[in-house]
Structure 1
Amino acid sequence: MRRRLLGLALLAGLGWSATSESAEIPADCQAQAPWGAPQWSGTEPHLTPLGRRAYVALHDDVKLVPDFVSWSLTAEHALGCLPRKDSFAPDPDLLPGHRAELADYKGHSGIYDRGYFAPNSDFEWDARVLRESFYLSNMSPQASHLNQWEWEMLEEATRSWALTRGPLVVMDGPIWKDPVETIGADEVGIPAAYWKVIVDGSGQVAAFIMQNQPTAKGDLTPHAVSVAQVEQAAGVALPLPANTDRGSVSAVWPVDLYALQKRKHVTCHIR
């Protein structure tokens, strides 16, 4: 950790930016984060804003995973038809030594996956944005049987809500606890938990927290929390509409995965 912080200081002296002040959303990504960037309640981590065509990430340059990711999700985008083509890659906009590498995840199969923050299935409507979702700057070491089970359920539910309640703004990020465990030679941080907050087309908000541990796929209700609980756990003030009720726990919105699958099959001509 000390080694990486010293490296950041050296790179800053060479003109490379990793701000410890308030992070900003790149101007061309305002549609992906319409209410701006979060504000950290303590010392803000060293962050690099990464503006993509379809999502924006604030990359933690010490833990080497994003601390905040935000994107818009429409019904059209939820029904994208491009096939998945795994193309995991280190982020070309981050310097070696200050980004996760493919080698960092090797040897952890079945324990930790390269878990998405902005999931690739939300971006199957365009080849470029789909490819950008595979950057390791959009991932963290996520318990395999969270990534493939309950976190996947939440991602599928979100696409279902894009059909019935959209367009949505989706944001998520990690929750950290000291000491931070790591994997790989680059010491990629392993989050203790994850949060996700979804704002629907009418401005209503749903919030969830899931621990980074194997969790059976099923009912999302046990993971529903208030925005205030997310903010307290993550140590941030989230960017949300001015009238957002941050103190109440919303009932989980109805999920119809069958309707989502049926619409997808019709749209993509799947037999």
Structure 2
Amino acid sequence: MKESFYFSNICPQHPQLNRRAWKELEEKIRSWVVTDSAVIVICGPIVDSKRQKIGNNNVSIPKQFFKVILSPFAQPTRAIGFLFPNEHATAPLPNYVVTIDSIESLTGLDFFSPLPDDIENRIESHSDYREWPE
């Protein structure tokens, strides 16, 4: 928990994203942990070279933020991806659902490669918010 407060873990995020959809998803994830006993969450910024920079250190302002969530002990194993524009975000959470494959394409990351290929391929190519507990 302490590591989440390092300055290396901070990105400029639109206040109405942080206070709305991002916060709502964080609260939802906390409830999923209780329901599923464990979840793996990976999140981060998506920055392109043309983005605005701020401050003396030229900190890039991300274009988007992502979260990918894996519930490894659910039966069947499930995962979901979220992609948020770094702007006023007040739409319902299902509006931000995307496949993990699409986030991997944007970031160049391979999130769940340690999983068996059949499971990885299934959960990364499919995202359905309705499959997650209310």
TM-score w.r.t. the length of structure 2 is 0.84
Aligned to 2:102: 229
Give CA-to-partner distance per residue, 1:57-99, whole Å, 9 cap, x none.
xxxxxxxxxxxxxxxxxxxxxxxxxxxxxxxxxxxxxxxxxxx
Instruction: Name which one, 1 or 2, has greater alpha-carbon Rg.
Output: 1
Aligned residues: 125
For the residue of structure 2 that corresponds to 1:215, the secondary structure is coil
Aligned position for 2:133: 254
The RMSD of aligned alpha carbons is 1.6
* Equivalent pair of 2:16/2:87 in contact (CA under 8 Å): yes
> What is the alpha-carbon distance in structure 1 between the residues aligned to residue 37 and residue 10 of structure 2?
25
Q: Secondary structure at the match of 2:106?
A: helix
For 1:213 and 1:233, locate their aligned partners in 2 and report how far apart those are by CA, in whole Å.
18
Partner residue of 1:106? none
Name the TM-score, length of structure 1 as normaliser.
0.43
Could you say what secondary structure the match of 2:8 adopts? helix
Counterpart residue type for residue 92 of structure 2: D
- Do residues 205 (structure 1) and 84 (structure 2) align? no
Match of 1:160 in 2: 31
Give ranges in structure 2 of 5+ residues lacking alignment: none
Q: How does 1:128-139 map to 2 (within 5 A)?
A: 129=2, 132-139=3-10
Provide the C-alpha distance between the structure 2 equivalents of 1:209 and 1:165, rounded to a whole number of angstroms: 22
List per-residue Cα deviations over 1:205-230 (Å, max 9, x = no partner).
111101100111x6210111111111
Pairing of 1:108-127 with structure 2 (within 5 A): 123=1
1:150 equivalenced with 2:24 (yes/no): no
The aligned amino acid for 2:57 is D
Assess if the C-alpha contact under 8 Å between 2:80 and 2:126 holds in 1: no
Where do residues 72-111 of structure 1 align in structure 2 (5 Å cutoff)?
A: none
Matches of 2:12 and 2:84 in 1, distance apart? 14
- How far residue 133 of structure 1 moved from its aligned partner, in angstroms, is 2.2
Shift of 1:171: 0.6
Higher relative contact order (CA 8 A, sep 6+): 2
What residue ranges of structure 1 are gaps of 5+ in the alignment?
A: 1-122, 124-128, 256-271
More helix by share: 2
CA deviation vs aligned residue, 1:81-119 (integer Å, no higher than 9, x gap) = xxxxxxxxxxxxxxxxxxxxxxxxxxxxxxxxxxxxxxx
User: Which amino acid is the alignment partner of residue 138 of structure 1?
Assistant: N
Q: State the alpha-carbon separation in 1 of the partners of residues 5 and 127 from structure 2.
A: 32
| Aligned pair partner of 2:92 in 211, 219, 235 | 219
